[in-house]
Chain A
Amino acid sequence: MPDQFYRSHILLCTDPECLAKGAQDIEDALVRALDAHGLRDEVDILETSRLGHCHTGPEIVVYPEGVSYINLTPDAITEIVSEHLLKGRIVQKYQFTAEVRKDEELRAPAAKEMRIIMARCGVIDPENIEDYIADEGYAALGKVMSEMSPRNVIDEILKSNLRGRGGAGFPAGRKWEFAANQKSETKFVICNADEGDPGAFMNRRLLEGDPHAVLEGMIIAGYAIGAHQGYIYCRAEYPIAVRTIRIAIRQARELSLLGKDIMGTGFDFDVELRIGAGAFVCGEETALMASIEGKRGEPRPRPPFPAVSGLWGKPTIINNVETLANIPNIIRRGADWFQTIGNEKNKGTKTFTLAGDVVRTGLIEVPLGITLGEVVFDVAGGIKDGRKFKAIQTGGPMGGCIPEQFLETPIDYENLGALGSIMGSGGLVVMDDTTCMVDIARFFMDFTQDESCGKCVPCRIGTRRILEILEKICKGDGEEGDIERLESLSKFIVAGSLCGLGQGAPNPVLTTIKYFRDEYEAHIREKKCAAKVCKGLISYRILDTCTGCMVCSRNCPSHAITGEKKQVHILNDDLCERCGICLTVCKFDAIVVE
């Protein structure tokens, strides 16, 4: 109801993480409490994604005061409604900080962070186009339509030096220029929202929090290259993003921002949403196009590049969600403004998801060129539980593991590449000293060999062979020569694969060998796993401090633990699967790993 005015607005985070912690119960409690006080017509509840503190969710922010309440329970809601919303008194015990959080702070939560792409996420209602328009949304499209020629748009993007955020870092403006120069009646714009890297969810948050920015970027791209049809290819694992995109497309059509005769200029452009079906390789551009065409998502050789012959053989540009979301900002504020952020060859900000053993996990946006160390220690608050930093993995399963001595490295396309890793789409996984690097390489290889589409033999069979060698080493059956075999196999896979999946698949193996060779050697020669992770190289033992509470024997899935009540239990090493369940259930720390 756009005509309705509310006294207060409550933003409720309904990100999957907050939902897991009971955000739905919080919403129900809010509605109940507001009804009880007759405030339903005066207070509006908006569901948004990510307000900033998902590790302390569920969370709400009450406007106009901008007060943020965290760690909420239904009881807390009852209190907040009757105190804050009815009587105007802020309930400090649930408040995020003692001070009232200002809008600016909401937009840049941690030191060294910068909110440009994510600025609207969690601040506007993603399901209401008017919220977006009120925050300068579609102003860039208006500027493009009223005062810029397609050539002007491409020049501006070229000048900004915006590089593709999907991973390879190809200049977006050049891609557009190629497609614009093609003579064809039919051209396509594709938004790649098939974000498949484990631990990466930047694009999901962006689509859930600010879908119109991506749409606006697509329309501008369509205008620049002369396309009239766009596709958003979103992965099926993101049901909420699918919903927000559908709503955004419908609302943009209603306001004539999509479809025929956009803004009365005679320019036609429409967007259709296509949903994937769980194939990681479809994030690769040629595989993605095959998938939109309704085929198996297998990549094909390039050239011809999509800008020349893409979807159904027509000139096509494929840009990542984040690349497109940058476009309206660049047009509105100008390429010169964009140039002021970042370092020499890498301009603008980049979103990353931080996962693993750091204090603050979650989504961050930082200027390109910030160092790895600044991200780990300043933005993420350092390593959890006072442990020691061991490695940071950048770029998802095709990326590499970077050790401590390179923490001063700036995060940009060139410097990460020089270390044998990649920028990738932006997943960062921080590992502490309890992580075994051989096991991590095995984990990523398990992922890539499973997701290899099977078209190129070196990738299909080679990744499988690498995995087998790594599994052998983890089991304690590694032999001399295995490391060299891994290295030479990797070389062949990189050289013999068509797409980024095969070319990048050996990166985790190569970088862990390069920087943590001693761990591989310890596994192979001494049969030791220093991090006590590899199942074949460790055993569990029950200490005399066992109280005989029987919790471990009840929980052991392989019935390897026996013993009478109140007597020290016995663990049968032959039956033990080394699953670690006993370790987590023991309340007396009486089980050790050796």
Chain B
Amino acid sequence: MRAKDLRDVPLADALKPADDDPVVIPEQRARIDAIIAEHSAKPGATMVILNEIQAQIGHLSKPMQNYIAEKLRVPLKDIFGVITFYSFFTMKPRGKHRVAFCLGTACYVSGAEMLIEKTQQILDVKLGDTTPDRKFTIEACRCIGACSQAPAILIDDNVHGRLTPDKMTSVLRKYEKV
């Protein structure tokens, strides 16, 4: 099938945007357009653009990927391939606060697993998931370089170090209100 005929192929269900998808919200769509326009001339721009959209919008849904692929005139599989390869990209909307547990060597041996266990209990979600109220997303992350503070966690951009399971409730409470 020639490229121009592809337009007649109906869009797969997974690529149809839901009502709250960023590509149908005019303001967010404008931001995506602006990011693409700013960077698309650079060689190897795909990663730069995806990084920027992920940072500003918070996730990269499948309809967004389709939209970006069309704009950049690259196959959708190239975009999807990059997004699934790198752990920073996510296809699901995230919670307001990202709680990332450092699983570097020093944190691991100082009991990072206990912190995770306790947090799962407090928030009643599993590692990698978002609370139903979209307040918190909890996940494991690679070494954040705060090894002498082990075990340490990253909430948004703040490092909390020397944690114990019983300190978790009060640490999380600070963010719950914000």
Question: Which residues of A pack against B, CB within 8 Å?
Answer: 16-17, 19-21, 54-55, 196-201, 204, 236-239, 272, 274-280, 291-298, 312, 353, 355-357, 361-362, 393, 427, 429, 431, 435, 443, 453, 555, 557, 577, 579-581, 584-585
Contacts and interface: CB of A to CB of B under 8 A. Distances in A.
Contacts of B106: 198-199, 355-356, 361, 429
A280 B142 CA distance: 9
A520 B113 CA distance: 23
A19 B160 CA distance: 9
A415 B165 CA distance: 41
A447 to B, nearest CB: 8
Contacts of B88: 236, 276-278
Given A277-B50, A296-B82, A239 B148 contact: no
A196 B145 CA distance: 10
B144 A279 contact: no
A295 to B, nearest CB: 7
Contacts of A279: 85-87
Nearest to A431: B109
B102 to A, nearest CB: 8
B45 interface: yes
Given A296-B82, A362-B148, A579-B117, A277 B105 contact: no
Interface stretch (B18-26, B127-135, B151-159): B151-159
Contacts of A275: 47-48, 51
B87 A355 contact: no
B114 A198 contact: no
B69 interface: no
B108 interface: yes
B103 A198 contact: yes
Given A16-B159, A19-B159, A584-B114, A555 B166 contact: yes
A199 B159 contact: no
Given A17-B159, A20-B161, A579-B114, A278 B148 contact: no
A65 to B, nearest CB: 27
Contacts of B121: 557
Interface residues of B, number: 50
A345 B81 CA distance: 43
A239 B156 CA distance: 11
16 contacts: A16-B145, A19-B158, A20-B160, A238-B145, A274-B47, A275-B48, A277-B54, A293-B44, A294-B45, A296-B81, A296-B82, A355-B105, A361-B147, A427-B105, A429-B105, A557-B121
Contact of A21 (B85, B118, B161): B161
B148 A55 contact: yes
B47 A581 contact: no
B164 interface: yes
Contacts of A198: 103-106, 108, 142-143
A277 B82 CA distance: 10
A167 B84 CA distance: 28
A431 B141 CA distance: 22
B73 to A, nearest CB: 13
B84 to A, nearest CB: 8
Given A291-B47, A297-B86, A356-B105, A196 B142 contact: yes
B146 interface: yes
B157 A580 contact: no
B89 to A, nearest CB: 6
Contacts of B113: 579
A165 B157 CA distance: 29
A443 B152 CA distance: 17
B46 interface: yes
